[in-house]
A = this chain, B = another copy of it.
């Protein structure tokens, strides 16, 4: 009845919303979240966007195209040990179905076009091959039905090779060929799911690859296996004709020691060593890691987690760079909510998403101002002025040598040049940014 991509037809979306709002609604009393720039700051008006106006064009694109926000399926919707408002009964397939239904209801109400999730968030692993195939097939069919109705689709589908206890000693780098085989099958299945659900990206998470004890480990062999496994992901993607961007997950810290890849830099070293940075980009956090990944041309997708969810200052600087780099498509921003793994109420989850997305929408509006701010841009140019001409320009080019440096330092002595008074003026610019963010947006 509903055509794919129907989200563009406003009316159809409303119909879908209405349909989803039927008797057994999960987010009771919440309608489609509207943009209302003059919404009051009262608790009652928590369910309006004050900054996020999805279709409003700023800096040449709709806001939703710059942000490409996605709802993470994991924390909030995966059945398991912690009870959810929409499913009480453990990890049955039925619970997964209820969760998926709740997630689509949330996406529609938030007006968000993307969701993201790992295979394990989509369906429970079956007790055997047939059951597993069946679980995923049923869930993919159901999700496809929701996607057809709503136009909502995955930003990324990931494969989780870290949680199951069989992977405790590695998946791609297990010493047991059977486990590597199962991991390979799991990736194949997840790629199929990504393909069928038309996911923009496919995410590989290799957090468990590493060793327990070097004494009985052949590191060179394991690295060779790992490289082979990553290559097989590329090959399988091509074989099935999937066109999504490949991603690899980066984390902030190496909590588990002796891993082959964990943070941004160990992943970049791995990808660059095997020349796989052609195929894989990284899923990276906001902040310094993002700026570095961007400098290396490797940003695929951005994780918004924990304190970053509400940090307008950090988000503004992130989005300034996103804008200057022309956006992060086909990736986007994945919002990991709630910010804990305890029980939560459905309405509060909606409020949390509204508040976080709105923080980033505010940040986007600020970022556009930053990008266009003549004073700030001029300041940056001025900071590097000494490289714009003369010796500085020679250095930036490739004519200069350290011999020249020596000659110049001799002259510094004659001219009594003080080299100890170069201030970064970070206090000044931090104050500018603080006032900037506090100023009314219009």
CB pair B402–A188 under 8 Å, yes or no, is: yes
Interchain CB contact (< 8 A) of A423 among B339, B343, B383: B343
| A400 in contact with B232 given A46-B432, A177-B387, A215-B317 (CB within 8 Å) | yes
A54 interface contact, C-beta 8 A: no
CB pair A406–B188 under 8 Å, yes or no, is: yes
> For residue A339, which residues in chain B have a CB less than 8 angstroms away from its CB?
426-427, 430
CB pair A165–B412 under 8 Å, yes or no, is: no
Q: How far is the CA of A375 from the CA of B177 in the complex (A)?
A: 22
Interface centre among A130, A351, A380, A402, by most chain B C-beta atoms within 10 angstroms, is A402
Q: How far is the CA of A42 from the CA of B439 in the complex (A)?
A: 9
| A420 in contact with B46 given A395-B180, A402-B187, A427-B338 (CB within 8 Å) | no
Interface of A is mostly: helix
CB pair A273–B291 under 8 Å, yes or no, is: no
Q: How far is the CA of A392 from the CA of B370 in the complex (A)?
A: 54
> For residue A18, which residues in chain B have a CB less than 8 angstroms away from its CB?
none
> For residue A223, which residues in chain B have a CB less than 8 angstroms away from its CB?
295
> For residue A410, which residues in chain B have a CB less than 8 angstroms away from its CB?
129
CB pair B424–A213 under 8 Å, yes or no, is: yes
CB pair A177–B386 under 8 Å, yes or no, is: yes
CB pair A342–B383 under 8 Å, yes or no, is: no
CB pair A174–B422 under 8 Å, yes or no, is: yes
CB pair A424–B342 under 8 Å, yes or no, is: yes
A3 interface contact, C-beta 8 A: no
The interface on chain A, measured as residues whose beta carbon lies within 8 A of the other chain's beta carbons, has a size of 135
| A169 in contact with B422 given A291-B219, A395-B180, A427-B349 (CB within 8 Å) | yes
> For residue A279, which residues in chain B have a CB less than 8 angstroms away from its CB?
none
A35 interface contact, C-beta 8 A: no
**Interface hits, A191-234 → B, CB 8 Å:** 191, 211-221, 223-225, 228, 231-233
CB pair A182–B354 under 8 Å, yes or no, is: no
CB pair A166–B420 under 8 Å, yes or no, is: yes
Q: How far is the CA of A408 from the CA of B263 in the complex (A)?
A: 33
Interchain CB contact (< 8 A) of A343 among B42, B233, B294, B420: B420
Q: Please name the residue on chain B nearest to A208 by beta carbon.
A: B342
**Chain A positions 390 through 427: 1 when the CB is less than 8 Å from some CB of chain B, otherwise 0:** 01100110101111111011101100010111111111
> For residue A278, which residues in chain B have a CB less than 8 angstroms away from its CB?
none
User: Given contacts A225-B396, A343-B423, A349-B427, could you give 4 more A-B pairs where the C-beta distance is less than 8 Å?
Assistant: A176-B422, A213-B430, A214-B317, A265-B269
Closest 3 CB pairs of A and B: A184-B405, A168-B342, A265-B265
Q: List 21 A-B contacts (CB under 8 A).
A: A166-B420, A174-B422, A177-B386, A178-B386, A181-B391, A181-B404, A213-B426, A214-B321, A215-B370, A216-B380, A218-B380, A232-B400, A266-B292, A268-B268, A269-B296, A272-B273, A337-B427, A338-B426, A348-B425, A354-B431, A355-B434
